[in-house]
């Protein structure tokens, strides 16, 4: 007659029960996560104004990331152009100010009252490189 190993059967049943419990927990987690993902897809659909599903979620995400990165790149380029224009404007303003300063007449008083009640006043017109006496 054939014999059964009762201990081996008990071990098998214990392991089977353990795996069935793990399987049930995993199934419950999958169901919960799937329901949560579906809820988030519905929320995104309303927020974005397009249908978001589990099937197209990754594609929509990648498109949005590409658009954001492109906007960031263009924005940085615009800011750099603004910075360059500011630098050019500052340089132009400084150059114009220097030219304006070069054209301003300066007055050098060489002599003031030199005896008596009448004095001589020498004025140097530096713009025209000439000396004026008063």
Mean pLDDT by 10 residues, the chain (134 residues): 89 96 97 96 95 95 96 95 90 78 57 49 63 62
- Model confidence, pTM: 0.52
C-alpha 100/C-alpha 36 separation (Å) is 71
Q: What is the rounded end-to-end Cα distance, in angstroms, of the chain?
A: 146
Q: How many CB atoms lie within 10 A of CB 66?
A: 10
The pLDDT of residue 111: 44
The pLDDT of residue 39: 96
Contact 106, 126 (CB under 8 A): yes
52 CB burial (10 A radius; 0-12, 13-18, 19+): buried
């Amino acid at each position: 007659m054939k014999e059964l190993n009762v201990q081996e059967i008990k071990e098998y049943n214990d392991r089977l029960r353990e795996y069935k419990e793990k399987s049930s927990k995993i199934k419950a987690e999958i169901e919960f996560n799937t329901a949560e993902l579906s809820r988030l897809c519905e929320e995104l659909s309303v927020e974005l104004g397009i249908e978001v599903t589990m099937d197209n979620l990754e594609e929509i995400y990648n498109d949005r990331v590409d658009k954001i990165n492109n906007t960031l790149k263009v924005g940085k380029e615009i800011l750099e152009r603004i910075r360059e224009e500011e630098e050019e404007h500052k340089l132009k303003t400084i150059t114009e100010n220097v030219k304006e300063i070069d054209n301003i007449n300066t007055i050098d008083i060489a002599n003031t009252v030199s005896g008596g009640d009448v004095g001589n006043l020498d004025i140097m017109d530096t713009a025209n490189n000439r000396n004026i006496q008063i």
